[in-house]
Amino acid sequence: MSIGKFLRFVKYPAILLLVAVYTLPLMLIQEIALRTGWWSDRIAPRLWHRLTLRLLGIRVHVRGGVMPERPLLIVANHVSWTDILVLGALDGVHFVAKAEVRDWPVMGTFARLQRSVFVERERRRASPGQVREIAARLADGDPMVLFAEGTTGDGNRVLPFKTSLFGAAQAALAALRSERVLVQPVAIAYMRRNGLLLDLRERADIAWIGDMALLPHLKILLAAGTVDVEVCFGEPIPFSAGSDRKTVARRAEKAVRAMLVGALRRREAETESDEGQKPAVF
């Protein structure tokens, strides 16, 4: 076996071991935070996401930011399981995740400790209980992230948004007797590998599509080297008592699609003009 092959062979278990080393103490810290309230329960998850991004070689670039006003529902496109790390590392957000995530090794446990809301994506319509749970979290002031496509795409386009869980914004209005809930669109764009622009095929290769298992995709991602991701936060869309959830969903979908296309075109233009990349946030 060549040295290169040997290094690639030992790389995957070494990274998994390193993740385990810091995951166990951070899980304990998070459990204490949830039980006692001595410190914010958002600190340990954010640190875990940032450490894991570094190990995976993912650098994050940000345009805009999470709106400070609450209640806030963040709606984003979905390319890979790494989207959770990318958004979780930026701010104290919580996730609406598919039910299968609950049983994932390591990430599933952390998702539970991060107080994610798990939903059955296969159902044609969201259950009233799921909508009420998300609404209650919004009413408590937790910014909730919804991957509104309901599945992962290839990173080159935005799939139609599912509208049922947008009803949580409506339910939160009733619980809060608030004038509005903000719905903030966010676009996640996987831009570069080892400093070079990804083409359509390469971006789709990095994406996590279909029924691919987690560990095989992890190997693909690690083999890709350093990956740059851009996160674009859009202008929030007010959801008031008279708003229609389908209309708001379509507006958010249109905004996310425009930001994704804009990010991909902008990076191509920067390469042609030799402007280079903006510094990574981390």
Q: What is the pLDDT of residues 230-245, one digit of tens each?
A: 999 999 999 998 899 9
Least confident segment among 106-110, 178-182, 246-250: 106-110
Work out the burial of residue 269: count CB atoms within 10 Å of its CB; fewer than 13 is exposed, 13-18 middle, 19 or more buried: exposed
Q: Is the pLDDT of residue 272 over 60?
A: no
Q: Are 243 and 150 in contact (CB under 8 A)?
A: no
- How many alpha carbons fall within 13 Å on the CB side of residue 203? 23
Tens digit of each residue's pLDDT (9 = 90 or more) over 103-136: 777 777 778 888 888 887 655 555 677 888 888 8
pTM passes above 0.85: yes
Question: Of 25-29, 35-39, 219-223, 233-237, which gets the smallest average pLDDT?
Answer: 219-223
Kindly tell me if the per-residue pLDDT of 5 is higher than 50: no
- Average pLDDT over the chain reads 85
**pLDDT tens digits along 208-227:** 876 677 777 777 787 888 99
For residue 140, give both structure tokens: 């408590």
What pLDDT, on a 0 to 100 scale, did the predictor assign at position 2? 43
Range in 63-77, 123-137, 185-199 with the lowest mean pLDDT: 123-137
- Give me the mean pLDDT over the 80-109 stretch: 85
Structural tokens at position 125: 């319509």
Q: Which tops the pLDDT comparison, 8 or 210?
A: 210
- Using a 10 angstrom Cβ sphere, with 0-12 exposed, 13-18 middle and 19 or more buried, the burial of residue 17 is exposed
